[in-house]
Structure 1
Amino acid sequence: MKTETKTMLEVSGLGHRYGGANGHQAIADLTFQVRTGELACIVGPSGCGKSTMLRSISGLIKPTSGKVELNGSPVNGVPEDLAVVFQDYSRSLFPWLSVRSNVEFPLRSRGVSKAERRERADEVLEWVGLSAAAKKYPWQLSGGMQQRVSIARALACRPALLLMDEPFASVDAQTRFELEDLLLRVRKQFDSTVLLVTHDIDESIYLADRVFVLSKSPASVVADLEIPLGDERDQITTRESETFVHLRSEVARLLDVRTAAAPKPAPEAAEEPEASEPEAEAESEADEKPAEAAADAAAESDVDEQKADADEKSADDAEKSTAKQWAEAEQAEAAETAKRN
């Protein structure tokens, strides 16, 4: 996808140390830029400080050195025109809210009208393939579908910059490929600027216009690679291309990966003895009960007006709880700062 030359995100000399002057230096002197309309990936070894970097960029934590600018303005706190998709989708969604209400939730605090909230939610749910699941609850969905809800919620905010913290690390390989292709489609549809953090070399090359390679902790940028794979990509021909294979080897070399081969399979577990017929029947009945309970719960939840009212009240309660948690976090941070000073 072609990008503009304008800089959307500028990170200069970013550093963060946990635990004061003698504490752990997670990132050190990170400097890079993300252009408007670009999908950039940050790839680095596990534990190098990628998530700390992303939290610093998003304003969730205050860096101990350096600065972050979004569209030329310093980031002090979480900007309204920024959204984040986290790795742990199960903890980022409200289980007591429907899928649609989860997508609408951040729009409430921004003063978006109820009608527009519904319109935006329906639009993004259609794009991520979840229109039919709008009335369901997160616990009724698979892991991949829950992460689609998280992506839809972020897109509904129409952010200038979308940050993604290893968003596909917790799903199986097939679902991961589907979500990668989904991201490429919705990124093009919504003309989004995306910064995605991953430790997966193949994923970074497949998705990105540009890849920033980080060193081991404390993280710093060791390479800035353009990815000339074009706009149209697919999981088979793109990954088999000479350009992809060359870039994969280059990133692996930069990360000092000794081998880019797939990991050896885990030793096979010893086979368990087959259950006797009465035990098998008991297990079958036990397996059927949760399925029946889930079906009953889904049927009972299909009362539109009552559920909408309940969702509104739950969203209000959740918003108050979130505000309280932020206030407590700010007080704790202020106390910690006072101690250091």
Structure 2
Amino acid sequence: MSELSAQAEKEVEGEKASNSVPEKIEAVGESAPEEQKVMSAVDTFLAQFYLSKFSKQIALQYMKKIAADPSDDNERVKAWLMRGMNKIIKAPDNCDEWQRGCPDKVPGIRAQAVWDTKDFDWVERIEENFNVILEELVALEGLDVSGFQPYRAPAANDKIKNESDGVGVEATDAGSWNVFYLSLGKVMNFDDNRAKCPKTVELLEGIPGIYGHSFFSCLSPKSHITKHNGPTNKKLRCFLPLTCGENARLRVGGVERVPLQKGKILIWDDSFEHESWNDDETSRITLIFDIWNPDLHPKERKFLSFLTNSQLRAQKKIVEASGNEDNFFSVIDRAQYLDVAKEELWT
């Protein structure tokens, strides 16, 4: 996999030779000590994804295949792999200063806070179905159990506001944030919610490059979601405001006031530090969903998705076995049973 070395040369430059992994993954024809060093680096890197023996072989075969690929279809993943194997912490050169707080940054992806919706041919179709989506949202108000739950994160991840009910922490320092999950990767089941909004789900699944995270998001009046970074630049976040007043606002990186307009899609990169306010007297409800960053080739998306899904499945099993309830999966699951006042949703 000598091609990988060329992609990582700039990233590795300046690292101490004694700490640097040889700049190739495939060790065929090399001396035994160097081969062992290379394979040790590969094993250490892949261990974080908890791959089974079979899945690990698939990953290794893919890594060998892309190393020999003369096209640029896998250039970003090549660079990402080399950074991981060489344990490089410094942000890629292409990243913006507002992305520093994002833990997983793939090299070679544009650092662009807000994207032009004209570059995405599916936007018009979603906007044309605004009333279809709104109708399914409004129908939730008449249900005994709407499906909305407080947004919570593991307490260990944040020190904003530990909740007295023992279920994680909120992401707000004013007001409240409640969510209605439709999908969250492939390891959590929201079939009941999806059954309540079948047309919305169908529309989302028809979007090219859909990432697999989608939910209705409700900010109650006078709410503020504190500043934070998303987990990765592999994806973009899409907003479709369904109820939205004039004083709802969003900051993304250095863009202090990103326009929010009812019925109009907004596409932005949540790996940038961001925060959100609803200063109106009415709730702001938005359909939120993620798409793969279009700078990633479909081959790269497939490989990255393969690793991520393996990691999430394994982590879910680990935390279930440990009994630790302060984790991503348990917090979301337990938050489903917390009461949400109707006035927080439908004001």
Report TM bin, short chain.
under 0.3
TM-score (norm: length of structure 2): 0.23
Using structure 1 for the length normalisation, give the TM-score: 0.24
Structure with greater helix share of residues: 1
